[in-house]
Amino acid sequence: MIEAALFQGLSWNPITDLQQLFAFQFMVNALEAGTIVAVMAGVTGWFMVLRKQTFAGHTLSVIAFPGAAAAGLAGLPVALGYFSFCGLGALALAGIAGSRRSLSAESAAIGSLQALALGLGFLFVSLYHGVLNGLDSLLFGTFLGITSRQVGVLLAVAVTAVTLVVVAARPLFFASVDADVARARGVPVALLGFGFLLVLGLSVAATSQITGALLVFALLVTPAATAHQLTSRAVLGIALSVAIALGVTWLGLALAYFSVYPVGFYVTSLSFAVYVGVRVGRFIARRRQDVALAPEPA
């Protein structure tokens, strides 16, 4: 019955289609989990883009993959693997960032960590001879297996992560914009950086359960990057980042429900489309402004 509902496609009655989204508990769980993750990703992602730590976020998303695979191999909940490995990855990244390496050496060290994580992930998958929730679902996301208990865990993690970011928002913003001046003013820049990486690790682990380990950027980076294109104001930018993340998540889940393609594909494509649309719109607006300001020919 569920499979028939999943693949019957959209009808000409949008009200019926909307009611169908809430007909099964697994879809209600997916919508609840997606909403929670989108809010958390929108907030933490905005600061991640501001701090120019998208490479670190990508590394954590790669580390999430072997975490999930290792948990499946050990017979443990996949969520435990996501959170434990992302937490350890955040500690490793904090150690690399605090080692006072040059930028090139730091990037090389982080890239090496990514390569190790991917290698371990495929090793754990090859050692496991069962289903392991499907390699595609670990990498590219799914919404069929989200339980009410997972929704509760995601809610607790999101509340913790967002609360920590809100509490530290002012000094974190100061340290992100100008670390040297913030340090001179007594702001604990290193401690804030370490704490934010841990919060980012929690966000990546939670988001990976919706979008998959390799498509986590769809919610963490693209909505935040789009918001930064629209405004430089912090509060408005965070609100826009959350709104965009919510929009692409809800629409992505709905499209995935009525098709055979994974939710990660839709969320990623929609996020990218919004980002490109904003960039094109800004380009056109600048060109029109340049034309309006250009002096009249003599």
Q: Is residue 98 part of a domain?
A: yes
Instruction: Indicate whether 180 belongs to any domain.
Output: yes
- Classify residue 249: in a domain, yes or no: no
The answer to the question of residue 295 being in a domain is no
Q: Which two tokens stand for residue 30?
A: 């997916």
CA distance 65 to 123: 11
Average pLDDT, the chain: 82
Q: Which string of DSSP letters, residue by residue, matches 278-296?
A: HHHHHHHHHHHHHHHHSPP
Q: Sort residue 57 into left (φ over 0), alpha (ψ -120 to 50) or beta.
A: alpha
The per-residue pLDDT for 219 is 85
Please give the model's pTM, rounded to 2 decimal places: 0.83
Q: Cα dihedral angle (49, 50, 53, 55), rounded to 10 degrees?
A: 30
For residue 162, the model assigns a pLDDT of 93
Residue 276 lies in a domain: no
CA distance 106 to 87: 19
Based on the number of CB atoms within 10 Å of its own CB, is 197 exposed (0-12), middle (13-18) or buried (19 or more)?
Answer: buried
What is the rounded distance in angstroms from the CA atom of residue 112 to the CA atom of residue 114?
5
Query: Residue 152: which domain range?
Result: 24-214
Q: Does a structural domain hold residue 289?
A: no
The number of domains in the chain is 1
CATH number (domain holding residue 94): 1.10.3470.10
Q: Where are the alpha helices (DSSP H) in 75-188?
A: 78-97, 103-127, 135-140, 148-167, 169-177, 179-184
291 in a structural domain: no
Which segments of the chain have a pLDDT < 50? 1-7
- 266 in a structural domain: no
| pLDDT at residue 4 in the model | 43
Residue among 177, 180, 164, 142 at smallest CA distance from 27: 142
